[in-house]
Structure 1
Amino acid sequence: MKIEEIYQCYLQCTSVNTDTRKIENNTLFIALKGENFDANTFAEEALSKGALFVIIDDKKYHTDKKKMILVSNSLQTLQELAKYHRQQLGLPIIALTGSNGKTTTKELINEVLSKKYNTKATIGNLNNHIGVPLTLLSFTEDTDIGIVEMGANHQKEIELLCSITEPDFGYITNFGKAHLEGFGGIEGVIKGKSELYNYLEIYRKTAFVNLDDEIQNEKTLQITRYSFSQKAKSDIKIDSIAANPMVIIKYNKIETQSNLIGLYNANNIIAAITIGKYFNISDIDIKEAIENYIPTNNRSQLIEKNSNHIILDAYNANPSSMTAAISNFIQIEAKEKIAILGDMFELGKESLIEHAKVIQLLENTQIETYFVGKDFFKSKIEKENLHFFDTYENFEKNFKTVNPKNQKILIKGSRGMALERTLEII
């Protein structure tokens, strides 16, 4: 069956799904395969739960020729269907990637643009080769602007996502030490993320650029761009940035007080301001959108518990974001401070070196710091205020005896460390 015919089936459905646990009536169910699962085996179940059509790629499960669409590769069909749908809609799409801050920036952009337009953005962090197509297929004729987050942990992944999404605009938050193992080092990160720039240049699209980032500036010299800066001549000139701990941005004589913690969030906010200005959102609407945005899902949340003020940033961590969070925490004015830091994953052969660098950031401070995880433990040093635990369980036993009061507490680690559990013992 040609993609045009499959598209006609898609148009009869109200949603697209790859998980039988979330099947709704009139869903298009796409059976994907993984290392440990084969959703083809659930094709009949999907129909029984209300799916209108099912796409499968294993003919032995092709038991209903009217409602089951047999293809050679379900994942490839999902991606082709998403691309075809994007082309039929023809709406402007903003793509963004980067080492840190993608999801926060995406949400801020969505908040700002939704003041004037009917926008739709990536839900959560569904930003990979499956999530991006599903995001595109959620766009409708009523969508004015689409905002697509793109994640990657190896070369050519952003290139693939661009070929599916065909973005009209692009923004790279930064180039940091994330997924070093997959990219093969920081140069690999720069090359991989810049695949978005390559697409924008080839197809003569527009990049949003932070001119204060030397790499962004250099990589976009041949691209049509709309820029922001605190220092250089740019389309959007930022007057000042402050944080203690919430970020305050001043531009065009307007002061915007955000609910985001730390200077490392400043560029995320400024990018949303810049993109808002490009799409003719008024200054007052931009200010209101940013000031009303409250982060969730363990991303730079400020929580008060038992007299303690907690910065919960436990959604993810890499050397760049960890360094930024610690630097900001050191600058926060408070007599008593505790840092609880979890291992950073996917760093490959650089892992122990990068964990040791993080420890060095706190070596000469008075901050009581608890390092949790095997790589921090392997890199431990002897210092009275630095405490090392190879497992969360060992940390938990110790920390239950601390009973902190009136403290500023930073909690940060990779998602796999699940350090939000610490809230239960504070």
Structure 2
Amino acid sequence: MKLVLQDIIAAIGGRCLNPPSSGHNLITSIEIDSRKVGPNTLFVPLIGERFNAHDFIPDVAAKGALATLTEETTIRDENIIHIFVASTQKALLDLAAYYRSLFQIPVVAVTGSVGKTSTKDMIAAVLSVKFNVLKTQGNFNNEIGLPLTLFGLDEGHEVTVIEMGMNHFNEIHRLSVTAAPNMGVITNVGTSHIENLGSQEGILKAKLEILDGLQKGAPLFVNGDDKLLKTVTSSEHPIITYGELETNDYYCTNVYSEGHMTYATIITPKDTYPIAIPALGIHMVYNSLVAIAIADQLGLSKQDILDGLMAYIPSKMRMNITQTKQGLTVMDDTYNASPDSMKAALKVLADYKAPGRKVAILGDMFEMGDFAPSLHEEVGRYAAMQKIDVLYAVGDLAEHIAKGAKQCEDKNLEVSYYTDKQTFITDLAQILHENDTVLLKASRGMQFEEIVKAIGKVNDNEK
């Protein structure tokens, strides 16, 4: 990164409070974390409910930072250039938009209620066969993380694949305007964040804000099997659909899983061919379909695509399948949860060829608002209809999962409820049997990875 300070000031509409006398004005990094600051850094101090990073301006000055943004008119340290802006958060987005504009490369933006990360990872895996790809890391999909991702661009990158998350209206709008994508993807419209958005129609409206920054004429890829997304039209953007239905531009048939692989036949507008994916579930075929569609747009060969699909590696805690020393198969899908992703995970468990019992450990799903009880019960009823043996519901809201499962007439499903995670962990040694296949899934705030670690300790006979 090499940015001229005066260009930065112009891009964000800032005002320099103490212009430098030396004329030194080259910025080589932008940081929001004072611990990562070094020479020639621009520091962006954000303000949260419990912190004000302006307090660290003297610290970053001592580390050699060249300049800092500020919402204050006070000079905190004369040894660092202060650039006044009305909002450092907005300035961060404006600066990221300016920096992104310096790169004339394809930017693929992915949003949706479920599957954003796995879709982003799949697209990046396929495109990486031919291009040097920068992709969103971890959960850097919000109004802080997306700018930091874009700041990672350098002259060696040829494609960027970014993830866009949101909780409220206008968030996708701001992210899309910042990233100015050349291609957009909406994976589905579920019930995540329905507490804030009111209805699935509200969620659709929020997701379609991706069009606000999508470059004119750029394609939008949507899940054509989704009851709301299949209604999407645009006079300014081609709509390319994918899914299982033959009415889609890209669709699949003959889907099946074997071992840790999923297989399918893909039908594109120009070709038909079999694919293999090192991951389980029909939802992974959906992710592959949109990756293939984007790869076609960027001129990858069929062999490139097949190689890219095989190179896919899921992000941590997203249906990672491991074996313990004592013969348990653990399906760690604990990163987050919604009704749709819960059902998809349960379907993976049900279809898995397991030597022993199939056990689902499900926890609370957050941000459901008044819909929470009914949506948790819906997941319970769905679980009872799958070919699984045992269901453990853990957490306050998860009581409704157990209730929904018990409403069904399947007497073969053993259902148990635990009010809290620690009590459940205490009982793990008695709960799990040799050769069990165990699925774990809950919203991030439940921290179900603690159960995953506890399972490993129990099976390794650790105290």
Letter in 1 for 2:448: L
Paired with 1:66 and 1:331, the residues of 2 have a C-alpha distance of 60
* Cross-structure match for 2:458: none
Paired with 1:40 and 1:33, the residues of 2 have a C-alpha distance of 8
* Cross-structure match for 2:127: 113
Paired with 1:25 and 1:338, the residues of 2 have a C-alpha distance of 53
Match of 1:281 among 283, 288, 300: 300
1:189-230 deviations in Å (ceiling 9; x for gaps): 111112224554x83321123333343332035331344454
Residues 229, 369 of structure 1: alpha-carbon distance in 2 compared, 3 angstrom cutoff: closer
Aligned-residue CA RMSD (Å) = 2.6
Match of 1:400, SS state, is helix
Q: Give unpaired runs (5+ residues) of structure 2.
A: 13-22, 456-463
Paired with 2:128 and 2:388, the residues of 1 have a C-alpha distance of 44
Match of 2:398, SS state, is helix
* Cross-structure match for 1:27: 41
Match of 1:89, SS state, is coil
Match of 2:348 among 299, 303, 328: 328
* Cross-structure match for 1:258: 277
Letter in 1 for 2:350: I
Match of 2:445 among 394, 411, 416: 416
CA drift of 1:90 comes to: 3.4
* Cross-structure match for 1:371: 393
Q: Does 1:358 align with 2:387?
A: no
Q: Does 1:248 align with 2:263?
A: yes
Paired with 1:357 and 1:65, the residues of 2 have a C-alpha distance of 60
Contact 2:359 2:388 in 1 (8 A): no
1:314-344 deviations in Å (ceiling 9; x for gaps): 0110011111111232232334111111111
Contact 1:300 1:313 in 2 (8 A): yes
* Cross-structure match for 2:329: 309
Contact 2:364 2:446 in 1 (8 A): yes
Letter in 2 for 1:344: M
* Cross-structure match for 1:151: 165
Paired with 2:108 and 2:55, the residues of 1 have a C-alpha distance of 36
Which deviates the most, 369-378 or 84-93? Answer: 84-93
Match of 2:424 among 386, 395, 407: 395
Paired with 1:283 and 1:11, the residues of 2 have a C-alpha distance of 48
Contact 2:32 2:45 in 1 (8 A): yes
Contact 2:349 2:388 in 1 (8 A): no
Paired with 2:78 and 2:399, the residues of 1 have a C-alpha distance of 56
* Cross-structure match for 1:195: 209
Residues 242, 64 of structure 1: alpha-carbon distance in 2 compared, 3 angstrom cutoff: farther
1:8-53 deviations in Å (ceiling 9; x for gaps): 9998333321112333444322100011110000111123234333
Residues 186, 215 of structure 1: alpha-carbon distance in 2 compared, 3 angstrom cutoff: closer
* Cross-structure match for 1:81: 95
Which deviates the most, 230-239 or 396-405? Answer: 230-239
Which deviates the most, 48-57 or 74-83? Answer: 48-57
Residues 347, 61 of structure 1: alpha-carbon distance in 2 compared, 3 angstrom cutoff: farther
* Cross-structure match for 1:339: 360
CA drift of 1:279 comes to: 0.6
CA drift of 1:65 comes to: 6.0
Residues 320, 234 of structure 1: alpha-carbon distance in 2 compared, 3 angstrom cutoff: closer
Contact 2:9 2:83 in 1 (8 A): no
Moved over 4 A (4+): 1-4, 6-11
CA drift of 1:4 comes to: 4.2
Match of 1:248, SS state, is strand
1:275-325 deviations in Å (ceiling 9; x for gaps): 111111111121112112221310111110120111110011001111111
Match of 2:435 among 406, 419, 424: 406
Match of 1:28, SS state, is strand
- Length-normalised TM-score, structure 1: 0.91
Q: Give unpaired runs (5+ residues) of structure 1.
A: none
Identity of aligned pairs, percent?
31
Paired with 1:10 and 1:96, the residues of 2 have a C-alpha distance of 39
* Cross-structure match for 1:269: 288
Contact 1:314 1:414 in 2 (8 A): yes
Contact 1:56 1:62 in 2 (8 A): no
Match of 1:171, SS state, is strand
Match of 1:188, SS state, is helix
Contact 2:343 2:379 in 1 (8 A): yes
Match of 2:397, SS state, is helix
Count of matched residue positions in the alignment of Structure 1 and Structure 2: 425
* Cross-structure match for 2:229: 216
* Cross-structure match for 1:165: 179
Paired with 1:209 and 1:272, the residues of 2 have a C-alpha distance of 12
CA drift of 1:66 comes to: 4.5
